Chain A
């Protein structure tokens, strides 16, 4: 009898033991899936940043070529008057060409000369003009200058051109290769910090293109967004959280705000196009309109986070204020708002960071036009950083790839600073009641 029970117990124990092993294996598997998912996500973050930074850091450097420039008086100022207007109109390109010919006296054939002239950027002319206009006494003298190289030479020097390819597949042919090698053997080629990337606007020539215009456009657009969306968002949140009676209208507004937060951003662009540009006749491509569109887009986010911040203020604060005879408005402005402001600011910064990265609605209102000038006012045509990234990403030149990555690095740096500020604010002022 007891043997039978023992036998049964043994088998069911074995069963359990067997089953346990299986179940523990399943447990480990399940856990591994989770860990894999998290690691894939994290790996991707690393991969994305590594890929962007490795492609983009070279945008902050640029190749320069050393040339001996002869400010020949007969070219610059044949009349000898040193008249600034005449100096401004003079043929500086000829000086650059002359300097290049002096470096390589062997090159005489027309087509080859043309190619030789092409190794220096078109910006060199402007550099010389600036120097002469800044100091007219240079006319008639010599100077050794570092001039900006053209983008295909820049790519070669930065190692983005494979020298082993057949010449027909390279953007730099054997002759140019020879020139550059000769120049660099003599120390005439250098890679230096690319100040132009931060001080100039967009350009069709990759070596002259910079992010200043886009950064200014982004700042102006964000200025409009911030000035409008923060006060309006806070006011709306205060009303909904502190004053609104519980009725149908309040419900409608609430549902509305939650839904607006999830409407695709491109729809806001359609609204901006139809409403602000077609109906109100505001100028296209202007930071003003961009800011208005982004305001409407970020308002729901700001309202939602501001309400959360107000909700976090304990009711005892309000009751104490009422108890002292404060009116509802006094209670809110004197006691509740000051306590909720850090939370609201955090929400606002996060909303601004989203607005800074947004590009789809801005495409709709014409902020994709090619604009070389740096915008100065809210109604100047402008573009913004993410749109600049998009524009450069669709440019065919190889050199624009590094510019694009460079602009992305600048954009991510801004976002990092903003999000860092939000995190700091939260940790510095967060209060547990």
Chain B
């Protein structure tokens, strides 16, 4: 039985249960005429029956689905020969992977060894049994749940309150997912990072100046211990972010000032959404643009000026990233500028100030905290931006402040370390999680500070 069939079956049963529950509540009070004797509207009795039919059954099905694979794998292993069971965990995992591939049909049966074929047959048999058993179990739970709820219906049953309670519990659960996500991030990233710090001391990681995570496969090879000093990555990230902010802040701020204070309505209505198009373009497009257009452009420009610009330069990545962030800065600054009360401007005009004087000496100082908050948020975006730097910034972990050279960043290294099939517990893979932790903590701190500033500022003029 397919899982989707069972789910559809349960939902069909629930629909039936709704009708039955509704009918029963009505018939208990003698039809529509006696409806005032019911505590709740008939549909609530139906809903309650349907909920008791569907929820427990679906939960059972989900648990079954998660658990049965493990049970099956255990059973398949116990069926295999003794020598297979004696294999180290990693090799047994590979063997099981072969079996799984045969079961899923991604590898033709004929290509597998007889042992794997036998195991795959066993697996398929158990899988079939498990699906059938799980499906029938879930369906019977659905029927039992519906019957119990149906029998419990009486005119005095507070069906509406019960249904509403269940709805509210579900709402709470949904809003908890946000917290669970944060917890998940912290736990998973922190866990792997801690394992990494057991292999490489924290101080070496944070203050070391050489980054070469390539580990030799055998211990006796040259360079068997990689170097995990992340300072060049932090420096590269910082360099690119500084360049990006150097573009984004002036352009974003002046655009916001112009759009909020000078532009007439028509121009604003056209220019603002057009500028925001920049924020909607996927970052991979910017990356492609940086590699294909901006990089070569800077290179030829450099040649004319007698400078040696590397084809993957921090400048190209930073420039393009800055352009990407312009609308982010400008729309935040725009909000902050328009939030400044008109009375402040009127006061300045009354003293004879010109518009630009008013903006520079009254509006901007008043909006400054909010703008600073917005800029901090933009910095956190620049630090966490991935695709542009992966495509345009390069991989060489050099400790340099020269924007014309290639640098690498935290995000680039995370991507290069984790893309492809890696052994999960090598220091090389784990170091990506340590970098992820640094990234998460840094952006989190920036965000908390920035959001606090922005919030306090908003309250000031409300």
Contacts and interface: CB of A to CB of B under 8 A. Distances in A.
Contacts of A296: 177, 181, 184
B129 interface: no
A339 interface: no
B357 interface: yes
A13 interface: no
Which of B355, B383, B384 gathers most chain A CB within 10 Å?
B384
B224 interface: no
Interface in A146-162: none
B337 to A, nearest CB: 11
Contact of A394 (B391, B414, B418, B436): B391
Nearest to A300: B178
A358 B282 contact: yes
B281 A327 contact: no
A256 B285 CA distance: 30
Contact of B360 (A30, A51, A236, A359): A30
B447 A259 contact: yes
A264 B383 contact: yes
Contacts of B179: 252-253, 256
A240 B164 CA distance: 16
A265 B386 contact: yes
Contacts of B289: 48, 51-52
B269 interface: no
A360 B288 contact: no
A239 B254 contact: no
B175 A253 contact: yes
A34 B355 CA distance: 13
Given A259-B444, A300-B178, A360 B411 contact: yes
Contacts of A360: 283, 386-387, 390, 411, 415
B455 to A, nearest CB: 9
A40 interface: yes
Contacts of A173: none
A231 B171 CA distance: 10
B363 interface: no
B400 interface: no
Interface in A242-297: 243-244, 252-253, 255-260, 262-271, 273-275, 278-281, 296
Given A263-B444, A264-B439, A390-B391, A45 B178 contact: no
A393 B287 contact: yes
The 5 closest A-B pairs by CB, nearest first: A264-B384, A34-B258, A357-B282, A37-B254, A274-B188
Interface of B: 66, 69, 160, 163-164, 167-168, 170-172, 174-179, 181-182, 184-185, 188-189, 191-192, 250-255, 257-259, 261-263, 271, 274-275, 277-278, 280-285, 287-289, 291-293, 323, 326-327, 330, 354-357, 359-360, 377, 380-381, 383-387, 390-391, 411, 414-415, 418-419, 421, 424, 432-433, 436, 439-440, 443-444, 447-448, 451
Given A41-B330, A357-B284, 7 more contacts: A34-B255, A266-B436, A267-B439, A280-B66, A329-B167, A353-B280, A359-B284
21 contacts: A30-B360, A31-B355, A45-B274, A48-B281, A233-B174, A239-B171, A255-B451, A259-B444, A262-B381, A263-B185, A263-B384, A263-B443, A264-B385, A264-B439, A266-B384, A296-B177, A303-B178, A357-B283, A359-B387, A401-B292, A412-B281
